[in-house]
Amino acid sequence: MTSLGKTPSQDKKDNARRAQNIVPATIKQIMDSDGDGYKIEDIEAHIITIVGLIRSVEQTTTKISYQIDDGTGLMEGVVYVGSDGDASTTATAVPQVIMLEGTYGRVVGALRKNKDTKYITIFKSMPITDMNEVTCHMMEVAMLPKKLKKMLDEEEAATGFGGGGMLEGALPNSMIASTSIFSTTSRSGMSPCQEACSRILQGAPTENQEGVNKDYIYEQVKGRFTSVQVNDALDFLVQEGHAYTTVDENHFKGIEN
């Protein structure tokens, strides 16, 4: 049964309204958002980034837990580690830099909920040495709703209803966190091989939990790039937070997936 006044295709588009980019947010916004996730202008954010002071760090053999304070609230961020306690062997296999208590840091990850408490499963963490990045993050948080509302209004004026084409994929590049190490959609500065590998990973079916096998990528770019170039490109994508390994070091998924 569809919603009143909507066609089945419109319902499908509404269900697809999820931002697949990294969305800047404050802890208060996340905590105040209804449900298990975080919504902005009625669009669910899939991956979020927050910036704040690391109040405490607790490390065990299975995870590293951070208490992050951004001035609007306190939230836990969790990095799951390997049995040897090495944060570089996390489930996402993105190399992690362990942030220190009393320093500022940026984390990017997926929002999770345990009982009534929201927390972040961290994909990537990075200490902050330039405090201008903190100010920049808060400006991005303030500007995002205005830009998103403007985009929605323009789309509705053009199509007659909201929730259409521009929102089914990812938000425009200008509306996501501008810090290049965390941006999953900005392709500026990528080599042709890095771009090609990234597109292959982002085009993989989301239900494929194992990700894309490296041999498959070799085959797709055969004649254009060598295996050495592909290996270097994949290393770049992982280190920059665009992708991560899954079941082993030969299977990759894009962050947007």
CATH code for position 241: 1.10.10.10
Helix (H, G, I), strand (E, B) or coil at 84: coil
Range of the domain at 111: 18-134
DSSP secondary structure, 122-165, as one string: EEEEEE---THHHHHHHHHHHHHHHHHHHHHHHHHHHHSSSS-H
CATH code where residue 43 lies: 2.40.50.140
Residue 127 and residue 198 share a domain: no
How many domains does the chain fold into?
Answer: 2
Residue 207 and residue 122 share a domain: no
**Would residue 213 count as lying in a domain?**
yes
Helices (H), the chain: 8-15, 27-32, 132-159, 165-168, 192-202, 214-220, 227-239
**Would residue 175 count as lying in a domain?**
no
Maximum average pLDDT range among 140-154, 225-239, 243-257: 225-239
**Domain's final residue, options 86, 105, 134:** 134
For residue 150, the model assigns a pLDDT of: 77
**Which residue, 95, 78, 72, 63, is CA-closest to 26?**
72
**Would residue 48 count as lying in a domain?**
yes
pLDDT tens, position by position, 39-89: 877 777 878 899 999 999 999 988 899 999 999 999 999 998 754 445 544
Percent of the chain clearing pLDDT 90 (strictly above): 23
For residue 36, the model assigns a pLDDT of: 78
Q: How far is 107 from 202, CA to CA, in rounded Å?
A: 21
Q: Kindly report the CA angle at 184 between 223 and 66, in degrees rounded to 5?
A: 130
The DSSP call for residue 172 is -
Residue 44 and residue 126 share a domain: yes
**Would residue 159 count as lying in a domain?**
no
As a whole number, the mean pLDDT across the chain is 75
69: β partners: 53, 74
Residue 99 and residue 32 share a domain: yes
Residue with the bigger pLDDT between 60 and 167: it is 60
